[in-house]
Chains A and B, each alone.
Chain A
């Protein structure tokens, strides 16, 4: 399976998914012109990947701001990973946030409420 890499822009995050290492990074800010178009390749890649993922998969997120349509996309990404977790695969989330940005922490906590997979929230 090929890796997936989409470079960051000022309004869309870096996507860097390494299938062999099981490390999926999303980093930056997310309020693209059309969130669903932007995240479509992410959904497609994950759907394929989760059929035969690495022994341990970590979604490493450093998103300081998401607009509401990106939030919806992230909920969908987390649900896909949560589904894999519920099927017995080893999947976890590490959510990084800037300690002076309370809103980023609130957001991370709300995402964590809706999933059952291990979800670590780390201040920097």
Chain B
């Protein structure tokens, strides 16, 4: 990357008060190592353990969602353009914000936005009820997750989940998700 591009990128990142930003292939070891780094950093900041665990767990759910979605499309023989995922942890005033972005297939957009709109409309009690309902469902064969990640993030968030879905081309949308803690 050219020096001035790198400068612009770094400037953009530092304006956001980022703790961490990763874009590239989400392997399990990357997810794990970045997670450890985030925890170490937050422990040094001397914030409460419960707050550290909230940031860490939302980060893990987002990163594993990106990774699992990418792996599932690959298994279907429809690999997603490489390295299109990103996870960012930043600080706004006195609270943390964990965000992720990744390409999703256009066919998945209606289901995804319906799910997020549903979660955005629920209060804490409603979210707990949806969580319990989902957690009792039998696992889907071959699924890598339990379908609990988004609900869990919504429960930990202090504000409704923010998201956007922007068409990239005929096949893909860029899905972004922002969780305020």
Interfacial residues, chain A to chain B (CB-CB below 8 A):
10-11, 31, 33-36, 65, 67-69, 71-72, 75-76, 98, 100-104, 114
User: Does B105 lie at the interface of the complex (its beta carbon under 8 Å from any beta carbon of A)?
Assistant: no
User: Does B10 lie at the interface of the complex (its beta carbon under 8 Å from any beta carbon of A)?
Assistant: no
The answer for the CA separation of A49 and B64 in the assembled complex, in Å, is 32
* Shortest distance from the beta carbon of A15 to any chain B beta carbon, whole Å: 19
Q: Find out whether the CB atom of B146 lies under 8 angstroms from the CB atom of A68.
A: yes
Q: Pick the contact of A69: B35, B49, B50, B145 (CB < 8 A).
A: B145
Given contacts A67-B61, A72-B146, contact A101 B32 (CB under 8 A): no
* Nearest chain B residue, comparing its CB with the CB of A68: B148
Q: Find out whether the CB atom of A65 lies under 8 angstroms from the CB atom of B148.
A: no
Given contacts A10-B32, A67-B60, A67-B64, contact A75 B136 (CB under 8 A): yes
Residues of A within 8 A of B57 (CB): 65, 67, 103
The answer for the CA separation of A61 and B79 in the assembled complex, in Å, is 39
Q: Pick the contact of B135: A34, A35, A36, A72 (CB < 8 A).
A: A72
Given contacts A36-B139, A71-B135, A72-B146, contact A65 B152 (CB under 8 A): no
Q: Pick the contact of A36: B36, B144, B149 (CB < 8 A).
A: B144
Tell me the residues in window 126-151 of chain B with beta carbons closer than 8 Å to chain A beta carbons: 132, 135-136, 139, 143-146, 148-149
Q: What are 30 pairs between A and B in contact, CB < 8 Å?
A: A10-B36, A31-B35, A34-B144, A35-B146, A36-B139, A67-B60, A68-B61, A68-B148, A68-B149, A68-B152, A69-B64, A69-B144, A71-B146, A71-B148, A72-B135, A72-B139, A72-B146, A72-B148, A75-B135, A75-B136, A100-B49, A101-B50, A102-B49, A102-B50, A103-B49, A103-B50, A103-B57, A104-B53, A114-B132, A114-B136
Q: Pick the contact of A103: B53, B64, B146 (CB < 8 A).
A: B53
Q: Find out whether the CB atom of A101 lies under 8 angstroms from the CB atom of B145.
A: no
Residues of B within 8 A of A98 (CB): 49
**Assuming A36-B144, A98-B49, what are 13 further A-B pairs, CB within 8 angstroms?**
A10-B32, A11-B32, A31-B32, A33-B28, A36-B139, A67-B60, A67-B64, A68-B149, A68-B152, A69-B145, A69-B148, A75-B135, A103-B50
